[in-house]
Structure 1
């Protein structure tokens, strides 16, 4: 664990390889040096630090786990440790790297052609190209099968024409390309099937308006993908996957990173609350000397330790190719819930100062309200786990 003034009684360093420890420390140092000085200003002004994107590439944060094409080839645990440090700074920063890596580069690497990989992945790994992921729609969130975006092929073997609207899309206003999921009627089939398409900036009929008025994830760029008769070459179809398996498998990759990343936000609020209550004096004593304050610190500390062990265990399973989607649901659900409750507790420990930007806790709290909802709501993950336990579906 990177050296901090705040002690952790549960330290996982002895369970990590030397490369994993070095990766964690490098990511921590980068976050403190390059992100921390300006993140509060970006959050306050609703801007994303685009100038850091090439540095994310240099650090290996983009397409971290992929092999070849200029990607770092990290193992799943090393990747998770970088997610901790990015979200320690801000959920929006981790979201940028998660979307680029897990939701855009991963499906191109997994389901794309060699030509698609050669064309897009090296530039994305360097941060020269930015990607987004188009699945959620205004009326299709937790139920992606009800999407209305559709693609019509212009004759057998022809290009595709896409129409529809995607909403709540991280990175879309600054993206050079997007992996967009749409229903299409394939020749010889009576039922539409979901397919993935690489849609590129500059295609006629494509627009990506920015979503304004957010009170959360303000240091992240969010927008729409509007498709109005957008002609996509057949060469931009991802050939390696059909149906909902495509987008859902991408989300499984991203949720795994979220389950690690949320720990970083929890660590930051805990460490800030501990420092504050050690320094803040009331009734001639530090706040940290009061029983109720110590109880809160203990609960925060212990929950972070358990979350780390859960993430590490699932990381090793992923390394062995044994991690299941429902286990990823457990990781995302439990660690995000824990981090959100930690932020709420830490906010209360700072009293009125807890809502001030300079203390950073309220920023994490607001961000985590979004992380609690996106890429599978807390409730949907609960039902996914319940279905695994009982064999009975409560979704409908």
Structure 2
């Protein structure tokens, strides 16, 4: 247990870092940020064989002549299945434009309305080869209850609406599970919530709901199941992911975590995706008293495979490498802060004078199109189980059809 004390903000030179400037997406062909909630994954079966092998009737003579023969000894009538654009799909697989690698049944449908560098708006295309142009997925999280603990609904809450199956090649969520820090399945808990707002002044960044993860209660103040104090325990001690909790080198270290909870998603990425982004917002009762202390609750966004520029697979951190905690350089919501305390009102964090939050932040990261991506959003108490923290996650989007993406986190310029 710990008492309350005040630490002046200027004690740690490496805490309160300058904001990270992400590199953005420079157009290479059709650069577009397409909402993950509004993409459609097309069909597409397994890749077919390329040519028929020489059979018993063809013998070695057929092979030596450079001609492929069928089992009857005559030239095979089965046509060669070519993949002219190298996207892994042939015409027989459903590729409706084998001259454009951004078009195939595993691609994301993209509606482009902005002109390119030459001032030209590209012609609309049927990227996912479903026979329709610019048919984007609607939102999918409208009727999810606040206390819902279905992890697939958690994926929808962050605006990942498309679902994929192991036997097909379409993009989408393959699996979803709420987990502890060691990756084991989490039992149902009020540490998870799916909300349409967080108090009267904080709104969703996409769709109709957002995911809320908390070391206390993912509920609005005075709701059923809300904590209504700075301290509520869910699971007790846990085991952190490898490399965490991440310490600030100029501050006391931490090793034990408590009340850890995360949403782990396995996603098959669209074949035309070069990256993705999501928005998040972090609240804690540890601000500002426990800046540069070993009580530094953390929010992580862990990606596997880990992209270049991530820290132990974590995607969200400031320009000094501080993970999302009381030590990050993005805190600007509190009494006396630049943004004031309006975004604490009605959340439970505004009931006491010792709490703070970041504004909405956006993390982006590169991805290889068509690969399986494991993405885990996670939060945990560090040092003890007291003074809870909460993270809001929403607005997942793909970056598709060209452009380069680097790992980075920056404030959302015009949040909803």
TM-score normalized with structure 2 length: 0.25
Q: Which has the larger radius of gyration?
A: 2
Greater share of residues in helix: 1
Greater share of residues in strand: 2
TM-score normalized with structure 1 length: 0.26
